[in-house]
Amino acid sequence: MRLLRRYYKLKKRHLNKGKTKIIYIAFVMIAIMLLNIFPLKNNVYALENDEKLTDSQIKDEIERIYNVRSACLVSGDCTPLKELFDTSRKYGKWALEHEVRRVKYLSNWTNERDITFTNIQSFVRIKKVYPQGKIIKAALEESYKFDYTYCDDEKNAINSFGVGIRHTTSLIKKDDKWLIYNDWYTDCFEDAMQAYDGEIPNNPEVSLQKVNKGNLFSEASLNFKPFYNRENAVAYADKYCGAAWGSGNNYKYNKKYNDYNGIGGDCTNFASQVLGDKEGGGMSLTGAWVPHSNAWANADGLKNYLVSSGRGSIIKIGTFKELTEASSSLPGGAVSKLKLGDLIAYEKGKGNIDHFAVITGFDSKGYPLVNSHTTDRYHVPWDLGWGDKKIRFFLIHING
């Protein structure tokens, strides 16, 4: 009798589980049906001229424009840029001139380093839209993916890096075509473009002489010591480098820390996180070096702290030419001494450290790659965007 009661109890439990499963499946089917009937919200924006745009249409138009711009960076041909901007207004003209300068700079940079960009692609995430009369204004994040090869590499190994940029962009429609009315953003190439003008050259392609640098850079080896975990530091830098293509954490910074974008920049704050967060390098905090302190978030403060505390040491200070100049002891120059998890400080003018970046990798030729915030960078060649002759670099080895 007891066995019979146990049998019915088990049977009832099994039936209840079956009912739960049926209810769950029904719920999922209803949810799918509702999504088909009521799709996710795609806001519609009405302009003064009765033109209407949805979020997805705005995204598509901006991505189309940005990817034409990216194709010009690959080809070195500035002429297609003329069709992207409303040059009847000063803001559109300024935006066009800026993009022409970018093409010229990047063409020069690739020629000097004997590399070729094979593809550059932009992905856009719209954050907010503001209709203004005949103009549609959008706050957005752009994730760039850059692919390149070395010209003398018989295997044509493809190297990739990412950059994340935050824009405030405005579009205006003319002759049934959307154009850039203005485009404000913090450019990762800005400090290297001072020597370039915004005039579109008569020749379609910016042609510059190739300089064969040879294989200057050797692979840097990992060197683990107790108080600084280089492997974790690189993993942290990759996870939290923000809006750049290649980054993790859904393009978001680590919410544990303040974001200093817009109030001086977040690059040094990020470098300190990479060094000291438990998820990162795990370097122990001190009274002088803690979140929000001058040594943590200020570029000069971090450089001075690392050197004075003995936690970091200067490999060498100099211009790009001085740091890459070959010697009998260092065929790849001083930069070949950098290891994963080391830092580079960027000086604009004597005694003014303006930026920090973390060494996170080496490309197919051993060229050091960096991650940073403001602008967000993922595995970007260490000097890209910093080619001005006035720029000096501090190569800082973390002594751990």
Q: What is the pLDDT along the chain (400 residues), one digit of tens a residue?
A: 454 455 445 445 544 545 554 554 554 455 445 444 444 468 999 888 778 889 999 999 999 999 999 999 999 999 999 999 999 999 999 999 999 999 999 999 999 999 999 999 999 999 999 999 999 999 999 999 999 999 999 999 999 999 999 999 999 999 999 999 999 998 999 889 888 999 998 765 554 443 344 444 433 333 333 479 999 999 999 999 999 999 999 999 999 999 999 898 999 999 999 999 999 999 999 999 999 999 999 999 999 999 999 999 999 999 999 999 999 889 999 999 999 999 999 999 778 899 999 999 999 999 999 999 999 999 999 999 997 778 999 999 999 7
CA distance 129 to 42: 12
CATH architecture of 44-192: Roll (3.10)
Residue 214: per-residue pLDDT: 43
pTM value surpassing 0.75? yes
The backbone region for 218, taken as left when phi is positive above 0, alpha when psi lies in -120 to 50, beta otherwise, is beta
CA distance 345 to 393: 6
AA identity, residue 309: S
Residue 400: per-residue pLDDT: 75
Residue 202: per-residue pLDDT: 75
Residue 224: per-residue pLDDT: 33
Residue 95: per-residue pLDDT: 97
Residue 219: per-residue pLDDT: 35
Residue 49: per-residue pLDDT: 75
Contact residues for 264 (Cβ-Cβ < 8 A; gap 6+): none
CA distance 157 to 113: 15
- With H, G, I as helix, E, B as strand and everything else as coil, classify residue 70: helix
CA distance 238 to 216: 26
In contact, 117 and 148? CB cutoff 8 Å:
yes
Q: Where are the domains of the chain?
A: 9-40, 44-192, 230-398
Residue 47: per-residue pLDDT: 86
Question: Which one-letter DSSP state was computed for residue 89?
Answer: S
Q: How many other C-beta atoms can be found within 10 angstroms of the C-beta atom of residue 186? A: 14
Q: Is the dihedral of CA 362, 363, 366, 371 positive or negative?
A: negative
Residue 216: per-residue pLDDT: 41
